Structure 1
Amino acid sequence: MQSSKEPDMTAMHQRLVDQVKTNGHIRNARVEAAFRAVPRHLFLPNVAPAEVYRDQAIAIQSINGQVVSSSSQPTIMAIMLEQLQLQPGQNVLEIGSGTGYNAALMAHIVGPTGKVTTIDIDEDIVEAARVHLASAGFGHVQVICADGGLGYPADAPYDRIILTVNAGDITPAWHTQLKPNGRLLLPLVLRGPQASIAFTPNKDHLESLSLRACGFVGLRGAFAEADTLIQLAPEINQLTLRLGEARPTDAQAIYALLQSPAQDIRLPISLQPQEPFFGLSFWLALHEAQFCLLTASTSSIGQNSIPGLIHFPGKGTTTIGLLGDNALSVLMRDPASASADTRPGGGTFNLSIRSFGSADLLSQQLKKQIMAWDAAGHLAEKQLHVRAYPPDTACNLKASDIVIAKRWTKFVYSWQ
């Protein structure tokens, strides 16, 4: 019998599923059944139930102050499982085991005639995931310690391949180990912003089926992208700048820019609170290789004049912009804007540019892109279409297409 002092985890579990469903992120009956049947707390045994059953990501491992593995937010897990469109009997490969919770959800959906293999590069994570899966009744899920960039050829080909870590490219293994009618789902880094993209093979390339904004820790191992996160302050993550593309930078010089006099330009644009994250950041990152994202933790906000675009209560402030050789231009809410609510769910606000250093040309370039996005109708990430070709493959391009070439893939982006 449950003590009156013990939390009712069954009720907490079902309330969380109700919340995610009510918010429109669970639509498929099989996805809902999996979420209702598999308790999250079995995969986070050392975390308080009140934290487990909040709609939040929970870090499970960090290296040098940087989170390298986590239990993803249930909302984005639901979004991605909806994108994946799993069917009973399918063969699934997951790259990034985490706690094992997502693998259990997928195993519930594919059922006894299906198979789920999950791989992770960290032996400690693999061992813990095995224990969690066994305790939840999913000991049949195969958990392998390996470099995710190589996939897992022993059980290929796969009906579905899903990454729960971000990647800047599609490795050859993920393409070749996918069935001709399969689906590859990965959080792809688009020069900073990340999008969970469902791809399917189409003749000589992969074609996107759906795209949703997201945020995941990065792929580790031989196929990891060059780190583009710059620490600008002595304390880890107090003040950071993430570059759209890796390039030589001087952290001290950038920090000095932020302490120098600034120039502001007011823009005749009004934004909805969700648009910087779900639309503007993608437009700017795809059009400008100098894209950057500036973030200040709560502890540093009072010490540094950080232009605020979005404020996350208890976490800090972030903004986006362009970094030049001797200049930095970023976006912020117009101080004269009617709304003082800077949360993602706050009110409509006006936009300004704040520039540091010799930024005349840079600020005008930033303004040009913002005005182009405004003229295009405030396009959002869901309206992006992506084609992924082998690097030497010829493809038909429209004048408006954006091509970003990576080591193994030529990505062609278009807005629809």
Structure 2
Amino acid sequence: MTDETSADARAAEFRHKLVDELVAAGYITSAEVAAAFRAVPRHAFVLPGTPLDVAYNADNSVVTKTTEHGVAVSSVSAPFIQALMIEQAEIGPGMSVLEIGSGGYNAALLAEVVGPEGRVVSMDIDPEVTDRASTLLDATGYSNRVSVVWADAEHGAPDFGTFDAVIVTVGAWDIAPAWREQLAAKGRLVVPLRMNGVTRSIGFRRDNDHLVSTSAKVCGFVAMQGDGEHADRDLTLSDRRGRKVTLRFDDGAPDNPGLLDGVLAGERSQAWSGVTIKHGVSFADLHLWFACYLPGFCRMTVDDGTDLDRERGTWFPFAVVRGDSFAYLAVRPALGGGGVEFGAGAYGLHGPQAANAMVEQIQAWDRQARRGEPTFAYWPSGRHVDVPERTAVLEKRHGIVTISWPVAG
């Protein structure tokens, strides 16, 4: 056996192990998707020298390009989310698929799923990314099965007609009109949609003049560039030692951020909700509830050496600003050590009010939304929308997103 044959055999072992894991975890549910993951050599699409156990780790993305400041701008997404999104799109043999955000590997998977009678178009705004994807697809035998296009996907791929599925593999703040317009009548759109800083991979289908969700999963993606880009606003606070706490706003940043100057030098207050959760149980929908119903909601990061840095494990990176004060999601041991209680820590003259605002929403989530998953719809601008009960509305550039929570009962 030659060294090359031995290396290929070892890669195949990792590939089959990965598929078995994805099937067992429920990310792969169809035979076509399983066969695609067994066929496409993922290691050929990551950077040279990447260990096989890294390339084929089900949970990890592999960065393929960064900015001069080390910020990731292109990556091969984690296998679990790639499998999940292909399944969300309900892709099968003979279909046409538009992939927004190129890299090569995911396009090759799609080509395997749609087969020789299908069609895959992969777009990216970065010419280095599309050049690399074209080269790798050619090297792995997929160049005649995937059309790679260098363009801003905000404007779609008008030369290619309509598609049975559109899969967006970059974080999108809005749904571009072109994506809807190129979607076939019974087509599916899968998009990692950012909603006030919280992202879900949402599977949509057409329903007359709008889109309705068929599935939604927690995820995170590199942000979209180009005309569809949406910049966050950062508010940086300094503690007594000059170290930083950063509050990042997707929308609704404070009009007078100077009110928070010096806020970390004061005493901290706390409030507790009485709402508990067992260890290992997801509460990701609480974050989405905050994004819907907590004005001033933001995400929080902290520098090494801050008081909050030393207390990692007692808080989560979600916060709310109220004038000259802010609060953040905190937890403390509960349920005899088998879980935690939710609450809020806060800084500022009106910290108790900020903490109580967060606690009230924790309690509202517990009463109204904890025991069911929300559904989503997207309404293009200019449509009249009768918003049903228990539904949040988030305004976007090209339309609105509605998020409906199940009625408790």
Shared fold per TM-score greater than 0.5: yes
2-structure distance, mates of 1:2, 1:246? 61
How far apart are the structure 2 equivalents of 1:353 and 1:214?
25
1:266 aligns with 2:265: no
Q: 1:392 to 1:376 in 2, by over 3 A?
A: same
Q: Structure 1: which amino acid aligns with 2:339?
A: T
- What RMSD over aligned residues (CA atoms) do the two structures have, in Å? 2.7
Q: Which whole-Å CA distance do the structure 2 matches of 1:310 and 1:84 have between them?
A: 36
Return the alpha-carbon distance in structure 1 between the equivalents of residues 70 and 258 of structure 2: 20
Report the residue type matching 2:51 in the other structure: A
Contact 2:94 2:119 in 1 (8 A): yes
Give the structure 1 partner of residue 403 of structure 2.
413
Instruction: Figure out how many residues of one structure are paired with residues of the other and give that number.
Output: 396
- Structure 2 residue 153 is the aligned partner of structure 1 residue 148: yes
Structure 2 unaligned runs (5+)?
Answer: none
Consecutive unaligned residues of structure 1, counting only runs of 5 or more, are 312-316, 340-346
3-state secondary structure, aligned to 1:50: helix
Q: TM-score, normalised by structure 1?
A: 0.87
Match of 1:49 in 2: 52
Instruction: Work out whether residues 280 and 379 of structure 1, in 8 Å CA contact, stay in contact via their aligned partners in 2.
Output: no
Aligned residue among 309, 316, 321 for 1:323: 321
User: 1:326 offset after TM fit, Å?
Assistant: 1.3
Return the alpha-carbon distance in structure 1 between the equivalents of residues 280 and 201 of structure 2: 17
Q: How does 1:216-227 map to 2 (within 5 A)?
A: 216-227=221-232
Matched, 1:30 2:21: no
Which residue identity does 1:399 align to in structure 2? E
CA drift at 1:168:
1.4
Aligned equivalents of 2:392, 2:369: Cα separation in 1: 18
Mapped partners of 1:276, 1:325: distance in 2:
31
1:396 and 1:275 mapped to 2: Cα distance?
A: 34
Counterpart position of 1:359: 351
Cα distance in 2, alignment partners of residues 212 and 24 from structure 1:
13
Q: After superposition, what is the alpha-carbon deviation per residue over 1:347-385, rounded to whole angstroms, capped at 9, x for unaligned?
A: 5222221011122322221111100111125246xx211
Contact 1:267 1:352 in 2 (8 A): yes
Aligned counterpart for 2:216 among listed residues 211, 228, 253: 211
Contact 2:270 2:355 in 1 (8 A): no
1:42 touches 1:132 (CA, 8 Å); kept in 2? yes
Alpha-carbon displacement from aligned partner over 1:223-260 (angstroms, at most 9, x marks no partner): 211223556689xxx85432241535788976843453
Within the candidate set 168, 181, 187, 1:182 is matched to 187
User: In the alignment, is the contact (CA less than 8 A) between 1:309 and 1:332 conserved in 2?
Assistant: no
Q: Is the contact between residue 45 and residue 105 of structure 2 (CA under 8 Å) also seen in structure 1?
A: yes
Question: 1:14-67 CA distances to partner (integer Å, 9 max, x unpaired)?
Answer: 112211221121111111111111111010141222211212111122223322
Higher mean Cα deviation, 119-128 or 131-140? 131-140
1:5-404 to 2 correspondence within 5 Å? 8-46=10-48, 47-55=50-58, 56-63=60-67, 64-97=69-102, 99-140=103-144, 141-229=146-234, 240-245=246-251, 247=253, 256-273=262-279, 278-296=284-302, 300-306=303-309, 318-334=316-332, 338-339=336-337, 348-357=339-348, 358-376=350-368, 378-379=370-371, 383-404=373-394
Quick check: 41-50 or 115-124, which moved more? 41-50
Q: Percent identity?
A: 32
Q: Which amino acid aligns with 2:125?
A: I
* Distance in 2 between residues matched to 1:239 and 1:137, nearest whole Å: 48
User: In structure 1, the residue corresponding to 2:365 is in which secondary structure?
Assistant: helix
Offset at 1:302? Answer: 4.0
Any idea what SS the aligned residue of 2:206 has?
strand
Give the letter for the 1:68 counterpart: V
